C-alpha cells in the first residue's frame, strides 16, 4: 500500500476519454500547476527593455490562460454536457498515493460543481489581472511571478480533496500576497501588509489545528476531505467547527474581523486589491461550505443561528459603513463586505438552494469587485485622487469607463440578466423558510448597500465636471481588453444560469446530503 | 562506622553545591575553570560511591568506568579551556570571563 | 559474546572508525605538511564521509546475518547499531558533506587551518553518530563530550577574529557546566537503579521517586545545552552571530542534532516514553523552548539572530516529537519517532541552506542586519531566491519541507494526547514565521542600495551546494514519502 510510488487508482473517472485507451486524467493537475510552471519559467526571462517586459507578461498570461482554458473548455463544458444529458455528472478526480504517516494523505484532486464554478470565475479574474499587468512597469517579473503562485494556490485549494493538500495550498498564498501588498501599493502598504500577514497567519493556524484535530481524533487514518467524520465525539467536532469557522470568517472578511481586508483593499495596488478582494475572499466562502459544513454537519446545524447572526450584523455593518467612506476603494470594500455577508447567510441556512445562490453570489461578486477595483485604479491614474468628493462628472469625459462601472455595479446589486440577480434571488429564497427574520433584515441591508453603490456612481460619474478632470482620457484599448471578459462572464452567469445550475447542484448535493443524513 | 552510599551522596552534593556557587559567582576565567572542575568532581564522587554500594561484586562496577571517563573528559576540557584562556589573554590582555562574554555576546548597536 | 566479537565490533563501528581515521589522516597531513592546499583536505573529508555512508550499507547487511535481525550489539547492548543509528549517521554525513562543499571561501582565508578544520568536522560527525548508537550512560556521556570538544575546536579554529576565541570559550564553559549537570544526573540515576542501562530506571523509580525526578531533571537541564534550548542556549546565539556563516551552520546543526538524538536515546529509548516524570519535565522543556524561541525571533534585529531563534525553535519541536513516541488515540502508534527522524533531516537541511546562503551574502561583503538585506533581490536575484527558500523552509512555510515536518510532529503530538502543546507549537511556529516572512518581503519589496553584489565571491561548488540545499526543501514535500519510509524504518527500534 505504502510503496511510496505514485500509483494511479482505478476509480479515477475521466470525462474526456473518448477513445478506447484509458489514460490517467491530468486535467486537474494541469489546471493547478500550469501557473506554477509559469512561475518557474518567469525568472529566466530578462526584464531590462520594454520588449523583454512584454515577453515576461506574455509568458505569465499564457500560463494563466492555459489553466483557465483547460478548466473551462475541457472540464466545465463536458460537465455541462453530462448534466444536460440527464446523467449524474461524475466529478473529475485524480488520486495518487503520496504520504503514509499515522494517517494516509493522498495526492487527491477533485472538482465537483462548487469547485468548478469557482475555478472558472477565479480563472477569468486571473487572466484579466495578467492583462492588467501591462500597466505594471516596475519589477514585472516579481509581480507576475507572485500572482502565478497565487493562482496555483487558489486553484489548488479549490481542487484539493485531501486536507493536507488543502492546507499546503492554503498556506502557499500567504507569502506571495504579503510581498505583493508590500511591494506594490500606496503609502499605507506596509501597515496593511502587516495586518494581512497577522490575520492570514492566524487563520492558517486555526485551520491547521482544526484539521489536525479532525484527522487524528476521527480515527479513520485518512485525511481525505470526503471521509465521513461523523464518528467524531461531540466536543471534538464542536472545537473543530469553531476553529474552522473562525479561520474562514477571517478570510471572508466578515464582521468583526474585516478590518484587515478593508485596509488591504485600500492600500494595495489595484491588481493586488482585486486579487485579494475578488478571489482570496472566495476561498473563505468555499472553505465554509467544504470544511465547516461538509466536515462538521452536526455542529453546523446546531450553531447555524450564530452564522446567520454574524451574517446580518456583517451586512448591516458593511452597507452602513460604506456610506461613511470618502475613499472610493474603502467604499467598494465595505459594499463587498455587505455582499459577502449573504454567503454567510446562505451557509447558515444550509439549504441547497441557498448554497447554490452563494456560489453564484461569489462568482458575481468576484467579477464585479475585480472590475470596480481595476476601474478605480484607472480613475486614480487619471484624477490622482480616490476621494469621492474630489471626483464628479466623469461620465462626459470617460463614457466607456462609466458604462463599465455601471455594469459592474449592476452585476453586484443583482439586476436581472446579470449574475448577481440569480445569486441574490437564490440566497433569499433558500434562506427565507428557515431564517425568516434574518433574511428580511439582510434584504433590508441589501437595499441600503444597493443605494449606496448607486449613489457613489452618481457622485463619481455624474453632476458637474471638475476642473481637474477636464482632460481625463477615456478607457484605453488595454483597459477594455481586461474589463470586457469580466463583463462577458457576468452576463454568461446571468443570462444562462440554467446551464451551470445542474453542475453546481451536483456539488452542493454532496454537502447537503451530509447535513440531512 | 563505615561509609555508606548516603555519605557519598551527602559529600557529592556538598561538592556540587560548592562548584555551582563558584560557577555562578566567579568572574575571572581561571576561577571559573576551577569551579567547573569542582563541579565535575561531584558526580565522580557519587559514581564511585554508588558503584560499591553494598560492597558487592555481583554487578560489574560500571560506575567506576564512567568515573574514569568523566575524569578524562574533565581533564580534556580543562586543557582546552586553558588553551583558549591563554589565547584570549594574549589577544585581549585580560582574564576576565565577563569580558569574553561581552565579546561573544551579539551587539545590538548595528541595526 | 559469540564467535566473531571482534568482527562485529569492527563492523558496527566501521562508520565511526572510518570517520575518525580520516580525521586522523587530515590532522597528520596538516601537521607534517603545513603548506598543503585546502582542496586536498576537503576531498579527503568527502572520501571519508562517502566511506562512512558505504560502511552503513555494510552494517545493514550485517544486521541481516545477525541473530535478532535488529541490531549489532556490543558490550551487553551498551552500544547498539540499529536502523535508528544508521539513519542518523547517514544524515549527519550528508550534513558534513554539504558543509565541506560550502566552507570553501572561509577556508581560503585561513588555508593553514583547513586540515584541522576538516579533521574536527569528521570528528564531530563521528561523535553524533556515536551518540545515536549509545544505549547506556557511559557511551552517552563519552560521545556527547566528543561532540562538545569537536564543536569547541571548530569554533576555536576559526581564529580570524578575537570573537571566535570568545565564542569557543563561552561554548566550552557552558558546555562543561552542562556536562557536569548531565553527569550528576546520570550518577543519581545510576545510584537509584544500580545499572548503567537506562531501561532499568523505570523499574527502580518507585524506590526513590523524588531522587529519580531530580536525576532526570538534571540530565534534561544538561541536554538543553546540546539541543540549544532555553536556558543554556547562549552558545548557539554567539556561534550563529559571530562565527563565519558556513562553520556556524555546521556547529549549530551538529550540536542540536546531537542534543536531540541523545534526548531520544535517553527518553523514549531509555527511561521509557511512558515515564511520567520524564514526560512531564520534557513537556515543560518543550513548552519553554518553543515560547522563548518564538519571542526571540520576534525581537530579532539581525538575520543571524533570527536564524538562531528559529534553529532553537526547531530543536524545541524535535523535543515535542519525543513526547509522542507512545501509542496514539486510536491505539495505533503515534509515530513520534518517525516524525522526529524526518524532521531531523529536514530541519538540518533547512539550517544548512540558510547558513550557506547567508555565507554567500557575507562573502559579497554585505552586513547582516535586516536593513542590509533590504532590496537584496535587486542586486542579486539568485541569492534572494535561495535565501527566501531557505528561510521559508526554516520557518515552516508551506509548501516547503519544513511545513511537512512540522505537520508530522504536530499530528503525532495531538495523537499522543499532547493537544495543548501542539496548539502552543502551532502558535509559536506561526509567530516565529512572521519575522522570516517579513525579511523575505524586505528583500523584494524595498528598494536597495545600488552597491554591486559579487556573487563570484562564492565559488561555484559552494553555490551549487547551497542551491541543492534550498531545492531539497521543495522536493522534500513532493517526494516526502521515500524519506518518511526511511524515517519509519529508522524509528523501528525505538519502543
The answer to whether B27 and B97 are in contact (CB under 8 A) is: yes
User: C25 lies in a domain?
Assistant: no
pLDDT at C2: 47
Inter-chain CB proximity C412 and A204 less than 8 Å? no
pLDDT score of A16 more than 50: no
> B–A contact (≥3 CB pairs within 8 Å)?
no
User: C232 lies in a domain?
Assistant: no
Query: Could you report the predicted ipTM of this complex, rounded to two decimals?
Result: 0.91
User: A84 lies in a domain?
Assistant: yes
Q: Looking at the complex, report in whole angstroms how far the Cα of residue A187 sits from the nearest Cα belonging to chain C.
A: 13
* Domain B5-104: which CATH number of 3.40.640.10, 1.10.287.3510, 3.40.570.10, 3.40.50.10860: 1.10.287.3510
pLDDT score of A26 more than 60: yes
B106 or C492, greater pLDDT: C492
Query: What is the band of B60 on the pLDDT scale with cuts at 50, 70, 90?
Result: low
pLDDT in tens, C112-151: 788 888 999 999 999 999 998 887 788 889 999 999 999 9
Q: Looking at the complex, report in whole angstroms how far the Cα of residue C232 sits from the nearest Cα belonging to chain B.
A: 13
pLDDT score of B111 more than 50: no
Inter-chain CB proximity A168 and C480 less than 8 Å? no
User: C24 lies in a domain?
Assistant: no
Q: Looking at the complex, report in whole angstroms how far the Cα of residue C152 sits from the nearest Cα belonging to chain B.
A: 9
Number of domains chain C is built from: 1
pLDDT at C288: 95
- Which residues in chain C touch residue A43, judged by CB atoms under 8 angstroms apart? 381, 385
pLDDT at A14: 39
Strands C72-74 and A104-111: unpaired
pLDDT at B108: 46
Number of domains chain A is built from: 1
Least-confidence region, from A210-219, A288-297, C433-442: A210-219
Question: The C-alpha cell of B88 is what?
Answer: 584570549
pLDDT score of C454 more than 70: no
A404 or C62, greater pLDDT: A404
pLDDT in tens, C461-478: 888 888 888 888 888 888
Provide the β-strand partners of residue A93.
Answer: A110
Least-confidence region, from A390-394, B38-42, B59-63: B59-63
- For residue C41, give the nearest of C95, C122, C109, C105 by alpha carbon: C122
Q: What is the mean pLDDT of residues B36-49?
A: 88
pLDDT at C430: 93
User: A504 lies in a domain?
Assistant: yes
Q: What is the mean pLDDT of residues C479-484?
A: 88
pLDDT in tens, A57-67: 999 999 999 99
Least-confidence region, from B84-93, B100-109, C424-433: B100-109
pLDDT score of A18 more than 70: no
User: A7 lies in a domain?
Assistant: no
- For residue C42, give the nearest of C126, C124, C120, C115 by alpha carbon: C115
Query: What is the band of A199 on the pLDDT scale with cuts at 50, 70, 90?
Result: very high
3-state secondary structure of A98: strand
User: C304 lies in a domain?
Assistant: yes
pLDDT at A512: 87
Residue to mutate among A96, A100, A102, with most C CBs inside 10 A, is: A102
pLDDT at B58: 46
pLDDT in tens, A331-371: 999 999 999 999 999 999 988 999 999 999 999 999 999 99
pLDDT in tens, C261-271: 999 988 887 78
- The residue extents of the domains of chain B are 5-104
pLDDT at A1: 37
Inter-chain CB proximity B36 and C195 less than 8 Å? no
Residue to mutate among C130, C165, C251, with most B CBs inside 10 A, is: C165
pLDDT at B110: 38
User: A6 lies in a domain?
Assistant: no
pLDDT in tens, A483-497: 999 999 988 888 888
Q: What is the mean pLDDT of residues A14-20?
A: 43
Least-confidence region, from A89-103, C83-97, C274-288, C289-303: A89-103
Query: What is the band of B3 on the pLDDT scale with cuts at 50, 70, 90?
Result: low
Q: Residue C450's domain spans which residues?
A: 273-495
User: A319 lies in a domain?
Assistant: yes
pLDDT score of A175 more than 70: yes
pLDDT at A12: 39
* Chain C residue closest in CA terms to B41: C180
pLDDT at C287: 95
pLDDT score of C244 more than 90: no
Q: What is the mean pLDDT of residues A23-34?
A: 85
pLDDT score of A2 more than 50: no
Q: What is the mean pLDDT of residues A278-296?
A: 92
pLDDT score of C49 more than 80: yes
Residue to mutate among C152, C187, C215, with most B CBs inside 10 A, is: C187
A202 or C198, greater pLDDT: A202
Q: Residue A60's domain spans which residues?
A: 27-516
Amino acid at each position: 500500500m505504502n510503496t511510496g510510488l505514485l500509483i494511479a487508482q482505478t476509480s479515477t473517472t475521466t470525462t474526456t476519454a473518448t477513445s478506447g485507451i484509458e489514460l490517467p486524467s491530468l486535467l486537474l493537475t494541469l489546471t493547478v500547476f500550469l501557473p506554477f510552471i509559469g512561475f518557474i519559467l518567469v525568472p529566466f526571462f530578462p526584464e531590462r527593455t520594454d520588449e523583454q517586459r512584454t515577453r515576461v507578461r506574455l509568458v505569465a498570461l499564457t500560463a494563466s490562460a492555459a489553466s483557465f482554458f483547460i478548466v473551462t473548455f475541457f472540464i466545465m463544458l463536458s460537465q455541462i454536457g453530462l448534466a444536460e444529458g440527464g446523467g449524474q455528472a461524475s466529478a473529475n478526480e485524480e488520486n495518487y498515493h503520496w504520504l503514509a504517516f499515522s494517517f494516509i494523505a493522498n495526492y487527491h484532486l477533485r472538482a465537483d460543481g462548487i469547485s468548478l464554478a469557482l475555478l472558472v470565475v477565479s480563472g477569468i479574474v486571473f487572466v484579466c489581472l495578467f492583462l492588467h499587468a501591462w500597466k505594471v512597469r516596475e519589477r514585472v517579473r516579481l509581480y507576475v511571478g507572485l500572482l502565478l503562485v497565487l493562482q496555483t494556490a487558489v486553484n489548488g485549494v479549490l481542487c484539493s480533496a485531501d486536507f493536507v493538500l488543502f492546507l499546503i495550498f492554503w498556506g502557499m498564498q500567504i507569502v506571495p500576497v504579503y510581498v505583493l501588498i508590500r511591494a506594490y501599493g500606496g503609502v499605507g502598504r506596509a501597515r496593511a501588509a502587516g495586518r494581512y500577514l497577522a490575520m492570514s497567519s492566524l487563520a492558517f493556524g486555526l485551520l491547521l489545528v482544526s484539521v489536525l484535530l479532525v484527522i487524528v481524533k476521527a480515527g479513520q487514518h485518512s485525511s481525505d476531505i470526503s471521509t465521513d467524520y461523523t464518528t467524531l465525539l461531540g466536543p471534538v467536532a464542536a472545537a473543530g467547527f469553531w476553529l474552522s469557522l473562525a479561520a474562514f470568517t477571517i478570510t471572508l472578511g466578515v464582521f468583526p474581523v474585516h478590518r484587515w481586508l478593508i485596509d488591504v483593499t485600500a492600500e494595495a495596488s489595484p491588481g493586488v486589491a482585486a486579487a485579494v478582494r475578488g478571489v482570496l475572499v472566495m476561498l473563505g466562502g468555499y472553505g465554509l461550505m467544504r470544511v465547516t459544513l461538509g466536515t462538521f454537519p452536526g455542529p453546523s446545524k446546531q450553531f447555524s443561528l450564530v452564522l446567520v447572526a454574524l451574517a446580518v450584523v456583517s451586512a448591516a455593518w458593511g452597507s452602513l459603513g460604506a456610506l461613511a467612506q470618502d475613499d472610493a476603494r474603502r467604499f467598494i470594500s465595505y459594499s463587498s463586505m455587505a455582499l459577502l455577508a449573504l454567503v454567510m447567510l446562505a451557509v447558515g441556512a444550509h439549504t441547497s438552494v441557498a448554497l447554490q445562490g452563494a456560489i453564484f453570489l461569489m462568482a458575481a461578486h468576484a467579477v464585479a469587485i475585480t472590475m470596480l477595483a481595476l476601474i478605480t485604479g484607472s480613475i486614480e491614474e487619471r484624477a490622482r485622487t480616490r476621494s469621492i468628493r474630489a471626483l464628479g462628472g466623469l461620465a462626459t469625459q470617460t463614457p466607456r469607463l462609466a458604462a463599465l462601472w455601471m455594469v459592474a455595479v449592476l452585476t453586484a446589486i443583482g439586476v436581472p440578466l446579470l449574475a448577481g440577480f440569480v445569486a441574490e434571488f437564490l440566497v433569499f429564497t433558500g434562506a427565507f423558510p428557515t431564517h425568516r427574520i434574518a433574511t428580511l433584515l439582510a434584504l433590508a441591508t441589501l437595499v441600503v448597500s444597493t443605494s449606496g453603490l448607486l449613489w457613489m456612481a452618481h457622485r463619481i460619474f455624474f453632476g458637474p465636471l471638475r476642473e481637474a478632470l477636464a482632460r481625463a482620457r477615456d478607457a484605453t484599448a488595454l483597459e477594455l481588453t481586461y474589463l470586457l471578459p469580466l463583463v462577458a462572464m457576468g452576463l454568461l452567469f446571468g443570462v444562462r444560469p440554467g446551464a451551470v445550475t445542474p453542475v453546481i447542484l451536483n456539488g452542493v448535493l454532496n454537502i447537503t446530503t451530509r447535513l440531512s443524513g | 562506622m563505615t561509609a555508606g552510599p548516603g555519605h557519598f551522596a551527602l559529600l557529592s552534593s556538598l561538592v556540587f553545591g560548592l562548584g555551582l556557587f563558584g560557577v555562578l559567582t566567579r568572574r575571572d576565567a581561571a576561577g571559573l575553570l576551577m569551579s567547573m572542575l569542582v563541579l565535575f568532581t561531584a558526580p565522580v564522587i557519587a559514581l564511585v560511591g554508588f558503584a560499591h554500594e553494598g560492597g558487592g561484586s555481583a554487578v560489574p562496577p560500571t560506575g567506576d568506568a564512567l568515573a574514569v571517563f568523566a575524569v578524562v573528559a574533565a581533564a580534556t576540557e580543562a586543557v582546552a579551556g586553558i588553551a583558549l584562556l591563554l589565547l584570549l589573554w594574549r589577544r585581549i590582555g585580560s582574564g576576565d570571563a565577563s569580558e569574553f562574554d561581552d565579546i561573544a555576546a551579539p551587539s545590538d548597536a548595528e541595526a | 559474546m559469540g564467535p566473531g566479537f571482534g568482527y562485529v565490533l569492527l563492523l558496527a563501528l566501521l562508520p565511526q572508525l572510518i570517520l575518525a581515521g580520516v580525521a586522523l589522516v587530515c590532522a597528520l597531513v596538516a601537521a607534517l605538511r603545513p603548506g598543503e592546499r585546502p582542496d586536498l583536505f576537503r576531498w579527503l573529508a568527502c572520501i571519508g564521509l562517502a566511506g562512512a555512508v558505504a560502511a552503513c550499507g555494510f552494517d545493514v547487511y550485517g544486521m541481516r546475518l545477525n541473530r535478532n535481525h535488529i541490531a549489532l550489539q556490543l558490550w551487553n547492548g551498551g552500544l547498539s547499531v540499529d536502523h535508528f543509528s544508521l539513519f542518523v549517521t547517514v544524515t549527519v554525513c550528508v550534513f558534513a558533506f554539504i558543509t565541506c562543499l560550502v566552507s570553501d571561501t572561509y577556508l581560503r582565508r585561513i588555508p593553514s587551518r583547513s586540515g584541522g578544520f576538516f579533521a574536527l568536522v569528521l570528528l564531530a560527525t563521528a561523535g553524533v553518530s556515536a551518540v545515536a548508537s549509545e544505549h547506556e550512560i557511559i557511551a552517552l556521556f563519552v560521545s556527547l563530550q566528543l561532540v562538545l570538544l569537536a564543536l569547541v575546536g571548530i569554533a576555536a579554529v576559526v581564529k580570524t577574529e578575537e570573537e571566535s576565541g570568545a565564542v569557543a570559550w563561552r561554548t566550552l564553559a557552558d558546555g562543561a557546566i552542562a556536562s557536569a549537570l548531565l553527569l550528576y544526573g546520570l550518577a543519581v540515576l545510576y545510584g537509584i537503579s544500580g545499572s548503567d542501562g537506562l531501561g532499568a530506571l523505570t523499574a527502580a523509580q518507585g524506590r526513590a521517586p523524588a531522587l529519580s525526578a531530580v536525576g532526570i531533571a538534571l540530565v534534561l537541564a544538561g541536554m538543553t545545552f546540546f539541543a540549544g534550548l532555553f536556558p543554556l542556549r547562549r552558545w548557539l546565539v554567539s556561534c550563529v552571530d559571530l562565527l563565519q556563516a558556513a562553520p556556524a551552520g555546521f556547529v549549530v546543526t551538529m550540536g542540536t542534532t546531537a542534543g536531540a538524538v541523545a534526548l531520544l536515546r535517553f527518553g523514549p529509548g531509555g527511561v521509557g516514553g511512558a515515564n511520567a516524570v520524564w514526560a512531564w519535565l520534557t513537556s515543560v522543556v518543550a513548552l519553554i523552548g518553543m515560547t522563548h524561541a518564538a519571542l526571540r525571533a520576534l525581537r530579532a534585529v539581525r538575520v543571524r539572530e533570527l536564524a538562531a531563534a528559529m534553529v532553537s525553535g526547531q530543536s524545541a519541536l524535535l523535543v515535542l516529537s519525543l513526547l509522542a513516541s507512545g501509542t496514539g488515540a486510536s491505539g495505533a502508534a503515534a509515530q513520534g519517532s518517525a516524525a522526529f527522524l524526518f524532521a531531523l533531516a529536514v530541519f538540518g537541511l533547512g539550517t544548512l541552506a540558510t547558513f550557506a546562503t547567508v555565507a554567500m551574502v557575507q562573502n559579497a561583503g554585505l552586513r547582516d542586519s535586516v536593513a542590509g538585506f533590504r532590496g537584496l533581490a535587486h542586486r542579486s536575484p539568485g541569492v534572494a531566491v535561495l535565501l527566501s527558500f531557505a528561510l521559508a523552509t526554516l520557518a515552516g512555510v508551506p509548501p516547503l519541507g519544513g511545513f511537512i515536518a512540522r505537520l508530522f510532529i504536530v499530528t503525532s503530538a495531538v495523537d499522543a494526547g499532547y493537544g495543548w502543546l501542539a496548539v502552543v507549537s502551532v502558535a509559536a511556529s506561526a509567530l516565529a514565521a512572521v519575522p522570516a516572512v517579513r525579511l523575505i518581503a524586505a528583500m523584494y519589496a524595498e528598494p536597495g542600495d545600488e552597491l554591486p553584489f559579487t556573487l563570484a565571491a562564492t565559488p561555484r561548488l559552494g553555490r551549487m551546494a547551497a542551491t541543492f540545499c534550498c531545492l531539497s526543501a521543495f522536493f522534500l514535500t513532493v517526494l516526502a514519502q521515500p524519506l518518511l519510509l526511511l524515517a519509519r524504518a529508522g524509528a523501528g527500534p525505538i519502543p
